[in-house]
């Protein structure tokens, strides 16, 4: 237990963990204080997300390169996935879409750009592995095109395209993106890893946690993030109105900043230490993961959820 305690003691960001029980208690006793719950839950997700990515990395470091790489690649944006799932279950489709788009943009533009800026202040010229950046920019470009296809089709053939065609197309493209993501991982982590050498996350000099602690933290924190995300999603609509923000703004700006705060700290500090490879790897890697893994998973799950709800409720036309 001591590595976790020492980690919390040395990282002021993690002191916000104290807010987690406060949120859950407040939700139980004052469910109508939406603005308070919103602010508290946003503040509580920051340290949970940080702890989650720390635990994922520790498990990854202990389980060998292949399984570890896979774990990092699938659970690295677990916070974003859990928030989007909570919003999806609550029928907040605007929030889902905005948080996915916002996470990609925040990672690929804001985190990367700010890393270049911060790095450029202290170092005149910085180098990074071109292969990593090219592969990931290529994957992002592919995902962008895949995301545009359904809307372009819908625009051109409004009369001819039925909802069913769009559904089939969206599901097909989602599966294609996930498969491409898997092949990209295989290519960069396994078969041609020497081309992507220095973008390795495992370079981080942090003390490794024992496997049991890491797994327990991973499980426990996942449950806590899911619970706090529920509170967040329930309170967001009325709180956003009260604070003068639209749900799209909350999804596009607040959720990505909250979910990615810990990663930003790492990317910025790496850029300042002239380890720009690490910054590029974190920022682009995270954007690629959301575009080619989290977003398609959400699309696939949304159809599963919609179908189940359709069957359960006799009057399915109520929502949508």
Applying CB under 8 A, the residues found at the interface with its own copies are: 124-125, 191-192
Q: In the complex with its own copies, which residue's Cβ is closer, 124 or 318? A: 124
Cα pseudo-dihedral 261, 263, 269, 274, rounded to 10: -150
CA distance 189 to 70: 9
CB of 116 to its own copies, least distance (A): 12
From CA 166, how far away is CA 34, in angstroms rounded? Answer: 36
- The two structure tokens encoding residue 90: 């609550």
In the DSSP assignment, the letter for residue 127 is -
User: On the CB side of 96, how many CA atoms lie within 13 Å of its CA?
Assistant: 20
Q: Angle 34-62/211-243 helices, nearest 10 degrees? A: 150
Q: How far is the CB of 48 from its own copies (least distance, A)?
A: 35
Please identify, using beta-carbon distances, which residue of 63 and 126 lies nearer to its own copies. 126
The least CB distance from residue 231 to its own copies, in Å, is: 31
User: Which is closer to its own copies, CB of 125 or CB of 311?
Assistant: 125
Q: Which is nearer to its own copies, 32 or 194 (CB)?
A: 194
Minimum Å distance from CB 123 to its own copies? 12
Torsion sign over Cα 179, 62, 8, 34 = positive
Question: In terms of CB distance, is 192 or 308 closer to its own copies?
Answer: 192
**Cα–Cα nearest to 263, from 91, 99, 78, 124:** 78
Question: Which string of b and e fits 294-314 if b means at least 16 CB within 10 Å?
Answer: bbbbbbebbeeeeeeeeeeee
Closest CB 148 distance from its own copies, rounded Å:
13
DSSP 8-state class, residue 271 = H
CB nearer to its own copies: pick between 93 and 187:
187
Compute the least distance from the CB of residue 36 to its own copies, in Å: 32
CA-wise closest residue to 260 among 289, 218, 236? 289
Give whichever of 74 and 132 is closer to its own copies, judged by the CB atom. Answer: 132
- Smallest gap from Cβ 120 to its own copies, in A, equals 9
Token digits of residue 150: 């359904």
Sign of the Cα torsion 152, 292, 163, 88 reads negative
**Helix segments in 63-129, DSSP class H:** 65-75, 78-89, 93-105, 112-122
State the nearest-atom distance from the C-beta of 271 to its own copies, in Å.
17
- Name which of 32 and 155 has its Cβ closer to its own copies: 155
- DSSP 8-state code for residue 39: H
């Amino acid at each position: 237990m001591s590595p976790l305690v020492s980690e919390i003691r040395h990282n002021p960001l993690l002191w916000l963990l104290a807010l987690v029980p406060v949120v859950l208690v407040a939700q139980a006793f004052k469910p109508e204080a939406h603005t308070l719950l919103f602010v508290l839950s946003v503040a509580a997700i920051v340290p949970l997300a940080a702890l989650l990515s720390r635990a994922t990395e520790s498990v990854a470091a202990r389980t060998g390169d292949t399984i570890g790489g896979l774990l990092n690649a699938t659970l690295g944006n677990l916070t974003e996935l859990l928030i989007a799932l909570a919003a999806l279950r609550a029928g907040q489709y605007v929030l889902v879409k905005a948080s996915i788009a916002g996470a990609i943009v925040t990672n690929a533009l804001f985190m990367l750009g700010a890393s270049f800026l911060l790095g450029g202040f202290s170092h005149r010229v910085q180098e990074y592995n071109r292969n990593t950046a090219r592969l990931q920019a290529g994957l992002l470009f592919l995902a962008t095109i895949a995301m545009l296809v359904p809307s372009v089709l819908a625009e051109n053939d409004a009369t001819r395209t039925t909802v069913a065609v769009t559904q089939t197309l969206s599901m097909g493209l989602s599966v294609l993106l996930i498969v491409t993501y898997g092949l990209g991982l295989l290519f960069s982590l396994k078969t041609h890893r020497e081309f992507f050498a220095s973008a390795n996350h495992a370079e981080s000099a942090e003390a490794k946690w024992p496997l049991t602690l890491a797994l327990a933290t991973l499980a426990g924190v996942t449950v806590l993030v899911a619970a706090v995300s529920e509170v967040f999603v329930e309170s967001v609509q009325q709180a956003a109105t009260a604070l003068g923000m639209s749900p799209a703004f909350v999804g596009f700006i607040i959720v990505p900043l909250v979910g990615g705060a810990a990663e930003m700290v790492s990317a910025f500090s790496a850029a300042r230490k002239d380890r720009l490879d690490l910054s590029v790897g974190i920022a682009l890697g995270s954007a690629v993961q959301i575009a080619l893994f989290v977003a398609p998973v959400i699309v696939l799950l949304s159809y599963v959820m919609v179908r189940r709800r359709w069957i359960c409720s006799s009057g399915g036309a109520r929502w949508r």
